[in-house]
Amino acid sequence: MLSKLEIVKLESVIEQEYSRIADNLVMLVVKSLQASPKTATATTNAWRLAKLKQMGRLSSAVEAQIVAESKRSRTVIEKAVDNAIEKANENDMAIFRKAVASGAIPEARLALVGTDSQVFQRYKESILANCRKAMNLTNTKALEISKDAYRNTINSAFIEAKTGAKSIGDAVNDACHELGGTGLHVTYISDRGNVTTYPLDAAIRRDIVTSFNQSIMKMTLAENEMLGNDLVQVSVLGDSRPEHVEFQGKVYSQSGKSKKYPPLSETGIGTVTGIGGINCRHQLFPYYEDLEGSHKNEDASKAEEDRINRSYQITQEQRMRERQIRQAKRMVEVDKAGTDKDRLAKSQALLDKREQEMKDFIRTTGRGRSIDRERI
């Protein structure tokens, strides 16, 4: 199991790496849109045809960029995931050691689930393999999204110019400005037909961390079963989604055979909307009745829980401000390539405003400023 802050730390590493990649891909797309043929002399139809013909060159450039960037990111993310796996096992082992001290399990059995055990090594290798697979799929997704953004921006500019609303040059500048502001996005459609859109970096973080959390739960359950324990408890989160509140802090039987505790299957574990599903930060940890009152959830006082949640909220606010600064920087860089000096001045003013707001936020909260997270 991992604490919420430990999960957020892993999420932050992944999102930071892919934020940089996503920003660079946006700039590649914009540069390709702004490149020849010269918008001032090209006809609308000729411009659109020429741009679509450049799709192959853009794809090659984007793919090369992704490959170059992902080499560094893969190393950083794998290290963060490896550390998180070790920490999750360490947290579980702390409970197992308490169980040994209480006489609930023989000390000799701890070797079955320690860091040198076959079960831990098997899950560690599996989790890292899943992480690599997710990153490979992400590279493919990033390429397709970049191509879609390029194609959609071309079509948007073409339609506005064709209807006479704008010149092709102005239409291109406007479309690029908008892309610089919004960045690249991933669209998901749920089984119920609900459509949600995430920034590329947030979508990647979501996919990788969800897979990671599900694997960590499976590792905890396997270790628990290996030591002959059938009970697990769901962690408590101050910001739990409403449909998961009823499961928080409750004890469940992973086999479903207990007469005292409900089966773990009641939590919907293993499903998209259940415990451990998409974007769920809940964790499972071994539970022993002999240790009642000394489990992690029960150790935290109200003041400690408030402190953790406040720290989490401040961290999330800082991440939001960092994203806003990167967004403003992208818009400035995009507008520099255009011809509208007034728009460039407004974009620069917005960037200055957001950077000043960040300085005020840092001064008020006493946190350190992460300049690397604000770069594009």
What is the total count of domains within the chain? 2
**Cα–Cα distance for residue pair 224/220, rounded to 1 Å:** 6
- Any domain includes 220: yes
Give pLDDT, residue 349.
95
Give pLDDT, residue 299.
45
216 and 344 share a domain? Answer: no
Lowest pLDDT segment from 27-41, 213-227, 278-292: 27-41
pLDDT band at 304 (very low <50, low <70, confident <90, very high): low
Lowest pLDDT segment from 166-175, 303-312, 338-347: 303-312
Segment 242-253 mean pLDDT:
87
- Any domain includes 282: no
Which of these, 216, 188, 218, 214, lies nearest to 202 by C-alpha position? 188
- Any domain includes 146: yes
Lowest pLDDT segment from 22-36, 223-237, 339-353: 22-36
Beta-carbon contacts of residue 165 (< 8 Å; ≥ 6 apart)? 171
219 and 135 share a domain? Answer: yes
pLDDT digits (tens, 9 = 90+) for 26-82: 888 888 887 765 554 568 888 888 888 888 889 999 999 888 888 888 899 999 999
Do 219 and 123 touch, CB atoms closer than 8 A?
yes
pLDDT band at 3 (very low <50, low <70, confident <90, very high): confident
**Cα–Cα distance for residue pair 366/372, rounded to 1 Å:** 18
- Any domain includes 278: no
Of 179, 206, 227, the residue that ends a domain is: 227
Of 196, 227, 258, the residue that ends a domain is: 227
Give pLDDT, residue 211.
87
Give pLDDT, residue 38.
57
| Domain interval for residue 38 | 4-227
Q: Which position has the token pair 């390029």?
A: 150
pLDDT band at 326 (very low <50, low <70, confident <90, very high): confident
